Amino acid sequence: MDKHVNGKYYEWQLSVGHQWLKIENDHVIETHYCHPGAKGISINTSHGVVFIDFDTLQANNPGIKVQRLSFLPRGQTEDIGWYFRDDQLWCEYGTQGSNTLSSSVSSRDVEQQFTTNPQGTFRFTVGHTPYLIDFSTMTQRNLITGLQRRLRRRPKLSSNTGAVSLTSALPTTSSSQTGVVGYRWEFMGVGEQWTEYQAHICSFDSAAIERQYQLNKQGTLNFKINRYSYTLDFSGMYQVNNKFGTRRSVRRTPIYGVQHNISSGPQAQWQFLDMDGSWKDYSKGICSTSSQEIEFQYKLNPSGTMTFSTRNFSYELSFSAMTQRNLRTGTTRTVRRLNQ
């Protein structure tokens, strides 16, 4: 198989024993891995839930190994981003952090030094302040104050990441087309959990933000949440509280879906058992997902999980157990799938 068809130059694999096996729908892992704020991801496998640590590229399960392979055409190199942990967010080299000046080096400069000597060091300056990067410990040290910051090295997200694995994971029929049906905009909330922008808590939802982004991808957007005003910086991918100056990372991820024509059959309906004993539909009015999106994720991996959020909580929906779990309180509710 030509791994670089449609721009997909990677493959995630797990090893149990001596055999490396491809992870299906690895575009989900890749999307998370490309964001510097992501520590790791949990995936469901036939051997149980496996947590992949992005910093070490190791699984937390005994006897299970993980690797990410690259299949680049000869003469091409992967676009790599280097990031340091500022006081408030992960910042790429060459950009301005929340409390710092723009560094004198870029990700490309750091990557070149790393490629030359992955266990070496690299010295650079910001203004008149000297810094030292230690690749062996993945840290940056201020040579005057001694302050150390963590580093992360991540590939940059391609606009067609996952196009191959997504298409091949679904049956090809004349009544459906797979692809990107939209983009989800999220900010890094409390507890380092991604929270989607939604109209009932913010003056803009994902769709509205995406429209503004398409108008000017290097611009900014002002919005309000309750009594506070914020500015979203598209080029820096962060939001800042205009009163306190607090910054939070922002990400834009594709939503893959199935676009059905008129001849396709009726869709399954997903519901949860509410506390009053009645079945409630999943819909955009009450949470960040809908029956259509849940059904699509279910068809990708009927034994997997997905996460979504409401105004106050984040949840995990387990297809194998047919339950949803509140990630803060641990409360579980029964879920059902109705074929209409």
Using alpha carbons, select from 187, 309, 205, 182 the residue that is nearest to residue 255. 182
Residues in Cβ contact with 231 at an 8 Å cutoff, skipping those fewer than 6 apart:
220, 221, 222, 239, 240, 242
C-alpha–C-alpha distance, residues 175 and 261, integer Å: 6
The confidence score (pLDDT) of residue 208 equals 85
The confidence score (pLDDT) of residue 149 equals 93
The confidence score (pLDDT) of residue 114 equals 94
The confidence score (pLDDT) of residue 267 equals 65
Q: What is the pTM of this model?
A: 0.51
The confidence score (pLDDT) of residue 63 equals 86
Would you list the DSSP string of 271-336?
A: EEE-TTS-EEE--TTTSS--HHHHHHHHHH-TT-EEEEE-SS-EEEEETTTTEEEETTT--EEEEE
Residues in Cβ contact with 172 at an 8 Å cutoff, skipping those fewer than 6 apart:
none
Q: Under a CB-based contact definition with an 8 Å cutoff, are residues 247 and 240 in contact?
A: yes
What the block records as the tokens of 186 is 């999220």
C-alpha–C-alpha distance, residues 197 and 239, integer Å: 12
Beta bridge partners of 182: 255
The confidence score (pLDDT) of residue 232 equals 93
Q: Under a CB-based contact definition with an 8 Å cutoff, are residues 115 and 182 in contact?
A: no
In angstroms and rounded to an integer, the radius of gyration of the C-alpha atoms of the chain is 22
The confidence score (pLDDT) of residue 144 equals 94
The confidence score (pLDDT) of residue 151 equals 95
The confidence score (pLDDT) of residue 171 equals 30
Q: Under a CB-based contact definition with an 8 Å cutoff, are residues 209 and 232 in contact?
A: yes
Tens of pLDDT, residue by residue, the chain (340 residues): 445 444 578 899 999 877 888 888 888 888 888 888 888 888 888 778 888 999 999 998 888 999 999 887 777 788 899 999 887 678 888 875 545 555 678 999 999 999 999 999 999 988 889 999 999 999 999 999 999 999 999 998 765 444 322 222 223 333 333 456 678 888 887 666 778 887 667 778 888 898 888 888 888 999 887 778 899 999 888 999 898 888 888 888 877 653 333 333 456 788 999 888 888 888 876 787 888 778 777 776 677 788 888 878 888 898 888 999 998 888 899 999 987 5
